[in-house]
Amino acid sequence: MSTDGTFWRAAWIGLAAFTAFGLILGIAGKHPLQAYLDTGAYVLGSLEGFTELFVRMGPLVMAALAVAIPARIGLFNVGGEGQIYMGALFATGAALHLAQAPSWLLLPATIAAGFIGGAIWALIPALMRVAGVANEAITTLLLNYVAPLAVAYQIFGPWRSPESSSYPQSPRLAEAATLPVLPNTRLHAGLLIALACLAVFAYVFHRTRWGLEMRAIGGNRTASQHLGLPVRAYVLLCMALGGGIAGLAGMAEVSAIQGRLVAEVSPGYGYMGFLVAWLAGPSARAIAGMALLFALISSVGDILQITQRVPFAVVNILMAAILFSVLCAGRRR
Amino acid sequence: MIAALLIASVAAGTALLYAALGEIVGERAGIINLGVEGVMLVGAACACAVGAMSGNPYFGVLAAALAGALISLVFAYAVVDCAANQLAAGLSLLLLGLGVSALIGNPFVGAVMPGLPSLARMDALVALVLPLTALIAWGLWATRWGLQLRAVGENPTAAFAAGCNRRRLQYQAIALSGMLSALAGAHIALGVAYTWAEGMTGGRGFIAIALVMFARWNPWGAVAGALVFGGAEASQLQLQAHGVDVSPFVMNMLPYLLTLAVLPLTGKRGRLAAPAALGRPYRGVE
Amino acid sequence: MLKILICVLALASPVRAQDKPPLTVGVIYIGTANDYGYNRAMKDGVEALRKATGANVLEAENVPESAEAQRVMAAMIAKGAKLIMATSFGHQEFAFNLARSHPQVAFVHAGGWMLRDNFGNFFGATQTAWYVLGVAAGHMSKAGKAGFVAGVPIGYVIGNINAFHLGARSVNPKFQTRVVVTGGWSDKVKEAAAANALIDQGADIVTMHVDSPATVIQIAENRGVYSIGFQSIEARALAPKGWLTGLGFNWGPYMTETAQQVVNGTFKGKMVRLGLREKMLVVAPFGDAVPQNVRDAVDAAAARVADGFTPFTGPIKDNTGAYALRAGEKMENSDMGKFDWYAEGVIGRVK
């Protein structure tokens, strides 16, 4: 698969989708071209606009990895959203309970807790899959709804901050538990973590024996089993890794962006990550590129909302357009 | 209090049942549709839009059914004609539905909506759902059309060999499924909440998908499941009103946890209850 | 050639500096503006501001109470907004973050307590005003039971419930108020189910503190019980038979004044809590179902509150039997966010 070919194909799909979206907006009485221009001005013309792209890109890359890693062995992890929430939950728990710990311990512990939270949440469906009980697409989806409820339970109850008129949110996390942030922006170390995970994934998948085994399992599970590959172990491992990375995204949102645990940890990064991974395939560069594209689309949504009173949810149409183009470009009958 | 709980469960479960019935039809034809939530939202938005514009809730319901079928055709094209991955296509349908419903519903937020008139807390959609269940059960098991549809879902190659038009049957199943899901959304909009709000279905589409598994792909099983799941949702608020201290969040988790819990029960035997070719894109006889 | 150009530019600049560009104001709403409720009241205030000052207003609806809000407000600032109004309780922290990094932009937030030179906080003194609505409920309820649908159980909301209940008890000492919490400011399906559940339990008056009263009022109207509205007095259009009265916000004068301060350069962040007396809150017109003697009683109660009466003076027992306020104790306006108890006769748990 030539990278040139995929790049042009992606560009073509992007163009088609933006045009279709523009048409729909036009029919609805809005001004798509003006919106696109405004977005360009915002993204290129202001520090905030520019850095926001990368602020959004970090969690998207991590959510995409949460899907991409299990996908390599043929699994569908649609539970990124729930894993993000559980990562946020566990990270908050660690930061609150270990608040007295020295800073060199607190931040790594918070990060580790975030990973563990997400990993556990992905392991439940993985175990059910290995036991032959249920397809992970359904179980991960169901757990997506349980996780935010668990977060809500904590912030309305045991972790409710006594200040702020009992508004349901946790107390502020200690300074020592927050990821470093680039001053005057919201750009935080989470992006570095995301890119590091991406690099490791690319290396392992393309250049190690484990990656080769994953590709074998993904290609033909039965044959791999007959060859003696530990398929079940890979199922558990890949789901746990994917969930853990999503958990890191949740940790980053709590630690660097919100500063505390709130009811809405993620604006749908889990689902967007699924789409990024779906569109990008196994290529790390494509994942990074798609994540940036989705971040850009989100900025379009922000601008549309402010300047043209279009509900933000409408960007979903654009994303759906991109997806359906890809899905239907496959085989025509 | 039991009576109140039962009525509340029926009110909450009706939408779930409509969506589940639609999903059963689709899955019996071998197509799993994760985008039910999106179609429900489109149904809700159209019901509100047309209802508010015309002043007649029944026009709204009809518009919803039509819209649901139409938007599902996009999904149908992807999975039936382009043999696309059904899970991805379903999620794309979900996104499409989220966006389209927001666009359609936006001018009508806060508008006065004509609610579905009800007799003893039962409106037309609630009254219709049980006869509809019977109709679908009859359609699937007592007609030739139903037999062919199920054949396509079990073994499309054999069905093709027997002369079934797989493409037509799957399109029909998906259109019907879309209509029913949209009716679910219409009920939530015009029969329960009397308003439109973005994302108002709150994940019920996914509960419906789980419900189908819980019900073992049987319409009557779906009725029982809808009562149970609707009951879990309704009881939380009823208990609060009664003064019982119960965490609303734990109660809200129940439908999902219930589904997860019953999956192992239906597990080994249950998987045999699923249509054999469910979720597999048909690549033709080759 | 260059010299001519410079001269032309030099001449042109003073002319251009003469006309001050209109103020750009950015407003974020947590819901949609046409919700017959909280956001509608805010929007009405913004419209009054726009009419009075000719300002250029950027608005964004459905901005969640999370970091997304900061993103949206930052985009508005990038588009030239010099006054940002964050209209929902949970937007506070994010607006405050931006106030720190943009000291030249003025911010006002609704319903909180944070303050800074360029960050002010405003709201209506709702708690005492709810007492008036309770008086109306006490007179009109035959069953002596009311249902209260609450969105998020923060201290301010609990205070509203208590004031309502105390007002009702001043008329009927055995009055009961049942509370159902939906968990969010705006979940229509839950609000509908909550209203139905409360009516099932015997409430013949339903009221609420959620963003939009529309759903609860419509359910009440369908089931033939009375309703009392909150957030925007426009909601009475929804319940021609059952509407009793309500409480609404009148943000226009405050918002216009704030905008003018920003234009004049005299803006300074301060805590603003105004009530019935200053007409930041208004008691809604009565519904047809309310007889004259009740109207008089309610008006009298409103006058008392406008004069400074507060129902939160001891002794008051809470619903576990302990004393929440002893004789001689009083809760001040600044304490309104601290409620963590329900008055005796309120059925519900302060979680």
Chains touching C, CB cut-off 8 Å, 3+ pairs: A, B
Cβ–Cβ of C75/A258 closer than 8 Å?
no
Q: What is the average pLDDT score of chain A?
A: 84
- Residue B285 placed within a domain: no
Structural domains of chain A, count? 1
- pLDDT grade for C15, boundaries at 50, 70 and 90: very low
> Cβ of A2 under 8 Å from any chain C Cβ?
no
Cβ–Cβ of A302/C71 closer than 8 Å?
yes
Predicted local confidence at residue B101, as pLDDT: 93
CA distance C195 to B192: 11
Closest by CA to C310, choosing from C111, C139, C125, is C125
Closest by CA to B222, choosing from B140, B124, B116, B122, is B140
- Residue C9 placed within a domain: no
CA distances from C272 to B163, C99, C115, C221 (A): 77, 18, 11, 36
Collapse the DSSP code of C109 into the 3-class scheme (helix H, G, I; strand E, B; otherwise coil) and give the result: strand
Residues C33 and C160 in one domain: no
Pick among B73, B91, B209, B258 to test the A interface (most A CBs inside 10 A): B91
- Residue A75 placed within a domain: yes
Report the CATH number at residue C309: 3.40.50.2300
- Which of residues 71 through 90 in chain A touch B, CB cutoff 8 A? 76, 78
Closest by CA to C244, choosing from C220, C263, C262, C228, is C228
CA distance C106 to C267: 7
Residues C205 and C337 in one domain: yes
| DSSP code for B199 | T
- Alpha carbon of B248: minimum distance to chain C alpha carbons (Å): 8
Predicted local confidence at residue C351, as pLDDT: 60
- Residue C178 placed within a domain: yes
CA distance A61 to C177: 50
Structural domains of chain B, count? 1
- Residue B244 placed within a domain: yes
Predicted local confidence at residue A165, as pLDDT: 65
**Which residue from A184, A258, A312 is facing C67, i.e. has the nearest CB?**
A258
- Residue C310 placed within a domain: yes
The tokens describing C80, both together, are 């030239």
Report the CATH number at residue B97: 1.10.3470
Regarding predicted confidence, which is higher, B253 or B90?
Answer: B90
- pLDDT grade for B219, boundaries at 50, 70 and 90: very high
Q: What average pLDDT does range C267-283 have in this prediction?
A: 86
Beta-carbon contacts below 8 Å between A and B: 138
- Residue A143 placed within a domain: yes
pLDDT, one tens digit per residue, over B40-86 is 999 999 999 999 999 899 999 999 999 999 999 999 999 999 888 88
Report the CATH number at residue A186: 1.10.3470
Predicted local confidence at residue A127, as pLDDT: 92
Predicted local confidence at residue C10, as pLDDT: 46
- Alpha carbon of C221: minimum distance to chain B alpha carbons (Å): 11
Q: What is the average pLDDT score of chain B?
A: 86
- Residue A217 placed within a domain: yes
Domain span including residue A250: 3-328
Measured between beta carbons, which residues in chain C are less than 8 angstroms from residue B249? 183
CA distances from C46 to C40, C85, C250, C256 (A): 10, 9, 10, 8
- Alpha carbon of B119: minimum distance to chain A alpha carbons (Å): 34
- Residue A333 placed within a domain: no
- Residue C174 placed within a domain: yes
- Residue B137 placed within a domain: yes
Measured between beta carbons, which residues in chain C are less than 8 angstroms from residue A59? none
CA distance C190 to C182: 6
Predicted local confidence at residue B283, as pLDDT: 64
- Residue A69 placed within a domain: yes
> Cβ of A174 under 8 Å from any chain B Cβ?
no
- Residue C14 placed within a domain: no
Cβ–Cβ of C347/B243 closer than 8 Å?
yes
**Which residue from B99, B252, B268 is facing A149, i.e. has the nearest CB?**
B252
Domain span including residue C47: 19-124+251-274
- pLDDT grade for B179, boundaries at 50, 70 and 90: very high
Structural domains of chain C, count? 2
Give residue ranges of C with CB < 8 Å to any A CB.
26, 58-62, 64-68, 70-72, 74-79, 89-90, 93, 101, 112-113, 152-156, 183-184, 337-338, 340, 351
Residues C246 and C256 in one domain: no
Q: Is B265 exposed, middle or buried (0-12, 13-18, 19+ CB in 10 A)?
A: exposed
pLDDT, one tens digit per residue, over B142-153 is 999 999 999 998
- Residue A285 placed within a domain: yes
CA distance A161 to A148: 18
- Residue B134 placed within a domain: yes
- Which of residues 147 through 166 in chain A touch C, CB cutoff 8 A? 152, 156-157, 164-166
- Residue B123 placed within a domain: no
Cβ–Cβ of B256/A145 closer than 8 Å?
yes
Looking at the predicted structure, is the pLDDT value of residue B210 above 90?
no
Tell me the whole-structure pTM to 2 decimals: 0.83
Give the residue ranges of chain A where pLDDT is below 50: 1-3, 333
Regarding predicted confidence, which is higher, C125 or B223?
Answer: B223
- Residue A127 placed within a domain: yes
Residues C66 and C108 in one domain: yes
Map tokens 């040139």 to a residue: A4
Question: Is B24 in contact with B136 (CB distance < 8 Å)?
Answer: yes
**Which residue from C179, C189, C238 is facing B112, i.e. has the nearest CB?**
C238
Looking at the predicted structure, is the pLDDT value of residue B286 above 50?
no
Domain span including residue B85: 2-108+128-273
- Residue B117 placed within a domain: no
Residues C266 and C197 in one domain: no
- Residue B284 placed within a domain: no
Residues C75 and C217 in one domain: no
- Residue C108 placed within a domain: yes
Residues C321 and C188 in one domain: yes
Cβ–Cβ of B193/C215 closer than 8 Å?
yes
Worst-scoring range by mean pLDDT, B194-203, C73-82, C127-136, C160-169?
Answer: B194-203
- Residue C4 placed within a domain: no
